[in-house]
Structure 1
Amino acid sequence: MSTIQDQFNRVSKNYDAQRRYLIPCFDDFYQSCLPLVAERAAIKNVLDIGAGTGIFSQTIYQQRPDLHFTLMDISGDMLKVARERFAGLPNFKFIEMDFSANPIAEKYDLIISALAIHHLEDEHKAVLYNRVYQALKPGGLFINADQVEGRSAGFDEFYKSNWKETVNRSELAPEAIERAFERIKLDKFARLETQLKMLETAGFNDTDCIYKYHNFVVMAAFKA
């Protein structure tokens, strides 16, 4: 994870400006979970795992400014941007920590993650999903917006090559494109079905994929 930490420390200042170029389905990707959150008035506190600069938390905050947010990330520089984003708001706190190597100390109503868990090997994904389940209160909700491996080699290659073509055609500077392509070498995608099964094995009683665009997906899982 130290390599990932270094990569994201370096890109932290430009991370937000590059997101819409690197996530072709940006709005739907981050907003598809909002109806699930909106209908759960009992939610009080949120943990954002691998929060980065706080984009996912901001999306939910804009709908539910009453919630209390804890943003956790391994990159101090990314969290520095998040602190600036939410400066002056009393319902935000920040934890610099490797979420893959440490238990989750508190209990939450909602745990979210975006584009973070795909950096873990499959066995570590399964361990994290167990920790997330244990950290959720009864009736809690977990939302993971991430990238997954295609169901076949053909579709996986299509998703990856199409994404690269889209990024190459974007307005990103060549240096930024090169760095993005370098970062994806650290990715460890797993199939959607594999991860839904991991969530069920962890104890979640109701799981599904609520959004999919190529290999960008949003998974949701409820704890009874």
Structure 2
Amino acid sequence: MSAEISKQFNEVAQQYDQQRRFLIPCFNDFYHAALPLLQHRGADTSVLDIGAGTGLFSAILYQQHPAWQYTLLDVSVDMLQVAKKRFHGLDNFSFTEADFSGESLSGSYDVVISALAIHHLEDAAKITLYNNIYQILKPGGIFINADQVQGRSPLFDAHYKTRWRETVINSGLDKAAIDKAFERIKLDKFAPLEWQLQTLEQAGFTEVDCIYKNGNFVVFAGCKGK
């Protein structure tokens, strides 16, 4: 993952959470769509949050499952510092600074989650990461990715991106923050949803589907066989 990505997210770390609802028009559905898939897992469940940033996705999951063990991984030191403050005093949280785009993952987990991180990777790195995630998941484990994807055709891809820009411009977010958001998206490397679902299947996931879609905001999941 490029140093420029780390730099830009370090710069926005302190404002990241408060800007999310302005930058993600479907914020509530986007972050909550996958939670019913996890509701019947036991109290000893272990979670890896890849590209965790400030820990926003983990925080939403923690509200429903406060006894689970959480490991938050991110390349941005400043983003992880915000996450550490968020979960200060909780002994079931650990934090790892790492570039998940090029390094193998370690550990063994029941659940792997990611939100708005994997779209920063080149396609080859996405393939490697999806294979690495499959390897560290325990049998019966699940991977959930809440992310942005490329439209299925040029027309729809342009439509989604144009609509998002218009929504952000009219969201009430201050101009400086909007400008920085538009600067960050230049680093995005969206991939088609169907291709990513197929890539998960090729990695070994036996049950794969998209469970939520709003424009180019999607949530998809893959289950590892028992």
TM-score, length basis structure 1: 0.99
In terms of mean alpha carbon deviation, does 42-51 or 143-152 score higher?
Answer: 42-51
> d(CA) in 1 for partners of 2:29 and 2:38?
15
CA RMSD of aligned residues (A): 0.8
Kindly state the Cα deviation for residue 42 of structure 1 after the two structures are TM-superposed: 6.6
Structure 1: any 5+ residue segments left out of the alignment?
none
Who is 1:213 aligned against?
Answer: 214
> d(CA) in 2 for partners of 1:219 and 1:39?
19
> d(CA) in 1 for partners of 2:67 and 2:11?
33
Preserved CA contact (<8 Å) 1:133 1:223: yes
> d(CA) in 2 for partners of 1:80 and 1:44?
24
Who is 1:61 aligned against?
Answer: 62
Who is 1:173 aligned against?
Answer: 174
Who is 1:158 aligned against?
Answer: 159
Kindly state the Cα deviation for residue 43 of structure 1 after the two structures are TM-superposed: 5.6
1:167-218 deviation digits (Å, cap 9, x = unpaired):
0001111010000000000000000000000000000000000000000000
1:84-139 deviation digits (Å, cap 9, x = unpaired):
11011110000011011111110000000000000001111000000000000000
1:13-58 deviation digits (Å, cap 9, x = unpaired):
1001100000000011000111001022376100000000000000
Alignment of 1:45-124 (within 5 A): 45-124=46-125
TM-score, length basis structure 2: 0.98
Structure 2: any 5+ residue segments left out of the alignment?
none
Preserved CA contact (<8 Å) 1:147 1:217: yes
Matched, 1:13 2:14: yes
| Residues 43/205 of structure 1: CA separation in 2 closer, same or farther (3 Å cut) | farther
Preserved CA contact (<8 Å) 1:69 1:92: yes
> What percentage of aligned pairs have identical amino acids?
60
Preserved CA contact (<8 Å) 1:144 1:220: yes
Q: 4+ residue runs of structure 1 moved beyond 3 angstroms?
A: none
In terms of mean alpha carbon deviation, does 40-49 or 77-86 score higher?
Answer: 40-49
Matched, 1:138 2:143: no
> d(CA) in 2 for partners of 1:40 and 1:97?
28
Preserved CA contact (<8 Å) 2:147 2:217: yes
> d(CA) in 2 for partners of 1:41 and 1:21?
34
Match of 2:213, SS?
A: strand
Alignment of 1:192-211 (within 5 A): 192-211=193-212
Code of the aligned partner of 2:88: A
Who is 1:185 aligned against?
Answer: 186
> d(CA) in 2 for partners of 1:76 and 1:118?
19
Matched, 1:40 2:41: yes
